[in-house]
Structure 1
């Protein structure tokens, strides 16, 4: 995923879904670190550095006063598991899977 740009969650999911992204070298940053929303914009940037047991956000995210929302590795894993379990998952299904993982630190099961 190309970094240093602002995208909606819908655009991010579509890019992961269509491009079959395997590079997870990015993080999502946002104004709020709560529930993800399809129409909300997120800044795509680098992973934070860990200095003295503290996350130090990249300058581009810090300058915009953004919060870490999602690690790229987790985002790709959650979407991959959700799409494997439910290949025809809607965008909203995928947002629910991402939010579920954020809240419970485990993958959401889709009912057949």
Structure 2
């Protein structure tokens, strides 16, 4: 995933699904707290650094006063498991899988 750009969650999911070898070395940041949404825009940037047990966010994130939304590693894992469970998952199904993982720290079961 190319960093330092703003994309909708739908664009991010499409890019992740097309490029299965995509690196997980990124984080998603947002302007507001709230639920994930396909049409909401997110900033793609670096992981925060940990300095003296505190997260220090990348300069581009701090300058825009953005909040961490999702770690790239967790995002890719949640999407990969959702697609294994339900190969014909819609983009909205994938958003639901991301929400579920974020809330439960576990993968969403799909009833086939």
TM range (shorter): over 0.9
Which residue of structure 2 aligns with residue 2 of structure 1? 2
Length-normalised TM-score, structure 1: 0.97
Which structure 2 segments of 5+ residues have no match?
none
Segments ≥4 residues shifted beyond 2 Å: none
Which residue of structure 2 aligns with residue 44 of structure 1? 44
1:94 paired to 2:100: no
Partner SS for 1:36: coil
Q: Residues 21 and 76 of structure 1 are in contact (CA less than 8 Å); yes or no, is this contact kept in structure 2?
A: no
- Could you tell me how far 1:20 is from its partner in structure 2? 1.1
Which residue of structure 2 aligns with residue 109 of structure 1? 109
Which residue of structure 2 aligns with residue 23 of structure 1? 23
Task: Count matched residues.
Answer: 112
Which residue of structure 1 aligns with residue 67 of structure 2? 67
Q: CA RMSD in A?
A: 0.8
- Could you tell me how far 1:19 is from its partner in structure 2? 1.1
Length-normalised TM-score, structure 2: 0.97
Which structure 1 segments of 5+ residues have no match?
none
My pick for the range that moved more, 12-21 or 74-83, is 12-21
Which residue of structure 2 aligns with residue 57 of structure 1? 57
